[in-house]
Amino acid sequence: MENYFVLVLAGLTSLAAGALEWRRHRHPAPALRAAAGRALEAVGLAALFFLANVGTGALLTVAARALDVGFISIYLSTDVTLLVLSLLQALVFQGWREARRVP
């Protein structure tokens, strides 16, 4: 049960939010599909930013050691904060891209 408890929580609140939205709009399914697509795009961008951030961190670690210009721990590049920062980068980048499409 403890394995899936958080899934149950997220499922229940999603169902509640979905029911509210269904009441307010008669045919929200196309909009839901579009929103899911945009969310996947944001997650994909976040993954790209995360890989780029971690890769850059690894390169800086190797370069600092090779050039003997100080010490950067490799563990700094896998700090969990980087996940949140990558998501923020992705959301801003996605919003910026969409804003440019609007005439």
Partner 1 sequence: MRSATRLLGLATVAGFFALAFTPLPNRLHRAFASPARLGPADAIVVLGAGATDDYLSERSLRRAVHGMRLFQRGLAPVLVLHGPPEGSAAPEAATRAALASDLGLPAGAIVLAGGLTTREEARQSWSALSQAGRTRILLVTGSHHMWRARAMFERQGFTVSPAPVEEVAAEGGRPELRLAIARSVLQEGMARLVYRLAGVV
Interacting residues with partner 1 (CB under 8 A): 2-4, 6-7, 37, 39-48, 54, 58, 61-62, 65-66, 71, 73-75, 77-78, 80
Which residue, 20 or 36, has its beta carbon nearer to partner 1? Answer: 36
Which residue, 28 or 60, has its beta carbon nearer to partner 1? Answer: 60
Spatial neighbors of 18 by CB under 8 A, at least 6 apart, are 32
CB of 24 to partner 1, least distance (A): 27
| CA angle centred on 2, ends 20 and 5, rounded to 5° | 5
Which residue, 3 or 19, has its beta carbon nearer to partner 1? Answer: 3
Q: Give the other-Cβ count within 10 Å of 85's Cβ.
A: 14
CB of 23 to partner 1, least distance (A): 28
Q: Which two tokens stand for residue 41?
A: 């795009």
Which residue, 28 or 83, has its beta carbon nearer to partner 1? Answer: 83
Look at residues 79, 24, 21, 27 and name the one whose alpha carbon lies nearest to residue 53: 79
